[in-house]
Amino acid sequence: METGGTLPPAASLSQVDIAPDTKDWTWVLERTCQDCGLDSQAVPGRVVADILRSAAIAWQGVLGRPEVRTRPDSSTWSPLEYGCHVRDVCQRFDARMSLMLTRDNPDFENWDQDATALAQRYGEQDPAVVAMELDDTARTFAMHLDAVTGDQWLRTGRRADGATFTVDSFARYFIHDVVHHLHDVGSDFDPGRAMGWGPPGRSTNRSE
Ligand SMILES: [Zn+2]
């Protein structure tokens, strides 16, 4: 069906459904993501808050782009839609971490990310409002991550598909999502710099 002539006009692209992302992304906890370059095993949970605050600033730039509503192609979200998603991911993961810290091995409610995008009409939201909301939810979650100490990092929670996380792996899994979507929208965000590692290739500690 890749005839090229049947695509809807750009203005109506936001009305077209995008194929749901059904991949299980937990592999990012075990190996480096070749797309965004993040090696989440090298990210201690305690620095996730710092990366999140830096990433939230990068998202402000993305959401201020003139072409923020434009999908690069008919099967990829626009930067605005990705921004809405990341805002909601921050909120959802914050709530889940709160459950992990207050209950023993809680089950997470299922969250259909793609259904949420359609139901909340991500593509029609106001980019300036989304930028403010993303900044707010990211800072709030970062503050809660800052407050995690000691054995709290080892507390557990379980996703509907049976995947079990500790607060530590949950935080590292989460930050990959935020960083990966910056890669998706073409940002040059460097998580290593946010962690104080300096620009890629300039580190003297990690190359030995
Ligand atoms: Zn990635």
Residue 7 is predicted with a pLDDT of 37
Instruction: State how far the Cα of 79 lies from the Cα of 63, in Å rounded to an integer.
Output: 7
Q: How far is the CA of 98 from the centre of ligand 1 (A)?
A: 25
Q: Are 179 and 55 contacting, i.e. CB atoms less than 8 angstroms apart?
A: yes
Distance between CA 97 and CA 166 in Å, rounded? 9
Compute the distance from residue 189 Cα to the ligand 1 centre, in Å. Answer: 12
- For residue 67, what are the contacts with CB-CB under 8 A and spacing of at least 6? 79
Ligand 1 centroid from CA 43, angstroms: 13
pLDDT at site 24: 81
Q: What is the pLDDT of residue 198?
A: 53
Q: Which pair of tokens denotes residue 125?
A: 């939201």
Å from CA of 91 to ligand 1 middle: 20
Q: How far apart are CA 155 and CA 145, in angstroms?
A: 13
- Strands 164-166 and 156-158, bridge-based pairing: antiparallel
What beta strand segments (E) does the chain contain? 156-158, 164-166
Contact 4, 150 (CB under 8 A): no
Residue whose structure tokens are 């194929």: 19
Q: 60 C-alpha to center of ligand 1: Å?
A: 20
Q: Measure 177 CA to ligand 1 centroid, in angstroms.
A: 7
Contact present, 136 and 53 (Cβ < 8 Å): no
**Cα(173) to centroid(ligand 1), Å:** 10
CATH class of 35-69+77-191: mainly alpha
Tell me how far the alpha carbon of residue 39 lies from the centroid of ligand 1, in angstroms: 9
Ligand 1 centroid from CA 6, angstroms: 32
Q: pTM of the entire structure?
A: 0.84
Phi, psi for 160 (deg, rounded to 5): -60, -30
Strand partners, 157: 165
Per-residue pLDDT of the chain (208 residues; tens, 9 = 90+): 333 333 333 444 444 577 777 678 899 999 999 999 999 999 999 999 999 999 999 999 999 999 999 999 999 999 999 999 999 999 999 999 999 999 999 999 888 989 999 999 999 999 999 999 999 999 999 999 999 999 999 999 999 889 999 999 999 999 999 999 999 999 999 888 877 665 443 333 433 3
* Domain extents in the chain: 35-69+77-191
